[in-house]
């Protein structure tokens, strides 16, 4: 009997080696190259390192590069050599990176069964999707059942960011300078939603951070109230911070004061893949419900992982 199913994600999950080991998730790091040509990766250049460098000198940040098919193929071969029965490769959203397509190419010649999942997420939401897949695999779900499990899990997950400034979205080419200037003048704080299709959209625009937090708190509390009314399991939630923790904790307090209830998973720091665009002062609130494993054991599973 083999070692079961390995779950691997990419460095866009913001999982460092210690957290990955704790959660039982394998991570293929994101490569990084500094302006002077020095190379590193997301295992060695931590989220804390990123924010320290961004605040000190934005021009000296590294550029990221997605893994190659050969990187994934090497990991798949390692899993085969280690005696695993199969692999789930869950990547950051294909709306943000080409990593999903790269993994699909690599899986075609893998020496063991592989399913590649487009998480339609990034950063710590991706980490916890991968971690929940580890638990579901340990509970006995097979590869195709795990694909279906992820689909239902991701559809229950809501991912919201409140951005403090549009400056970094402009620098990254994700917003126009005129738009950013107007937002700054009016103290506009956009609420961004990473939607279920993996695309980031502006959910709301509010004047000032306090009003943005209150609006997001109303959305989250409404979802929790609807879930309770339908007799559904309570949400699990996490809070994300960038350079400072206090804005994220303020957002959490606003959500709880508005009536959101759920199991707290923790406060986590966003890394370079998201941080390079959202910038300092950004906070995020993420919540999801965990499906019942038995709902998937009676099905043969789907192979649609996109």
As for how many domains the chain has, the answer is 2
pLDDT interval class at 181 (50, 70, 90): very low
Query: Would you mind telling me the total number of residues written for the chain in this entry?
Result: 306
In a domain, 296, yes or no: no
Give the other-Cβ count within 10 Å of 176's Cβ.
Answer: 12
Tell me the pLDDT tens digit for each residue of 116-172.
999 999 999 999 999 999 999 999 999 999 999 999 999 999 999 998 876 665 554
pLDDT at residue 302 in the model: 55
Q: Closest by alpha carbon to 243, among 27, 58, 20, 16? A: 58
Residue 119 · residue 8 · CB < 8 Å: no
Rounded to two decimals, the pTM is 0.91
Range of the domain at 89: 5-156
State the burial class of residue 289 (Cβ atoms within 10 Å of its Cβ: 0-12, 13-18, 19+). middle
Residue of higher predicted confidence among 235 and 183: 235
Is there a single domain that holds both residue 149 and residue 164? no
Is there a single domain that holds both residue 88 and residue 211? no
Residue 36 to residue 95: CA distance in whole angstroms: 29
CA distances from 264 to 14, 23, 209, 292 (A): 19, 16, 23, 19
CATH of the domain at 69: 3.40.50.10170
The tokens for 11 are 């460095």
pLDDT at residue 280 in the model: 87
Tell me the pLDDT tens digit for each residue of 234-274.
999 999 999 999 999 999 999 999 999 999 999 999 998 88
Tell me the pLDDT tens digit for each residue of 9-25.
999 999 999 999 999 99
Q: Mean per-residue pLDDT for 44-69?
A: 85
Is there a single domain that holds both residue 10 and residue 68? yes
Residue 11 to residue 6: CA distance in whole angstroms: 16
């Amino acid at each position: 009997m083999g070692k079961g199913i390995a779950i691997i994600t990419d460095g866009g999950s913001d999982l460092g080696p210690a957290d990955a080991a704790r959660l039982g998730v394998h991570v293929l790091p994101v490569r990084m190259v500094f302006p002077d040509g020095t190379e590193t990766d997301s295992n060695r250049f931590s989220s804390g390192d990123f924010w320290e460098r961004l605040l000190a000198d934005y021009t000296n940040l590294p550029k990221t590069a997605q893994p190659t098919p050969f990187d994934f193929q090497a990991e798949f071969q390692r899993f085969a050599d280690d005696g695993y029965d199969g692999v789930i490769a869950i990547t950051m959203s294909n709306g943000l990176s080409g990593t999903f397509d790269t993994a699909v190419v690599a899986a075609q010649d893998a020496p063991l069964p592989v399913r590649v999942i487009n998480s339609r997420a990034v950063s710590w939401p991706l980490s916890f999707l991968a971690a929940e897949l580890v638990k579901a695999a340990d509970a006995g779900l097979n590869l195709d059942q795990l694909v279906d499990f992820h689909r239902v899990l991701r559809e229950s997950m809501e991912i919201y960011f409140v951005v403090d400034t549009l400056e970094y979205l402009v620098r990254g080419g994700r917003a126009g300078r005129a738009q950013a200037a107007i937002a700054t003048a009016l103290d506009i704080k956009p609420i961004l939603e990473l939607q279920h299709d993996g695309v980031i959209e502006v959910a709301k625009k509010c004047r000032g951070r306090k009003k943005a937090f209150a609006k997001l708190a109303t959305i989250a509390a409404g979802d929790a109230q609807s879930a309770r009314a339908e007799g559904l399991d309570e949400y699990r939630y996490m809070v994300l911070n960038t350079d400072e923790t206090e804005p994220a904790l303020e957002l959490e307090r606003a959500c709880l004061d508005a009536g959101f209830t759920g199991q707290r998973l923790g406060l986590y720091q966003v890394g370079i893949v998201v941080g390079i665009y959202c910038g300092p002062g950004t906070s995020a609130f993420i919540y999801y419900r965990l499906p019942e494993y038995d709902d998937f054991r009676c099905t043969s599973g789907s192979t649609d992982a996109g």
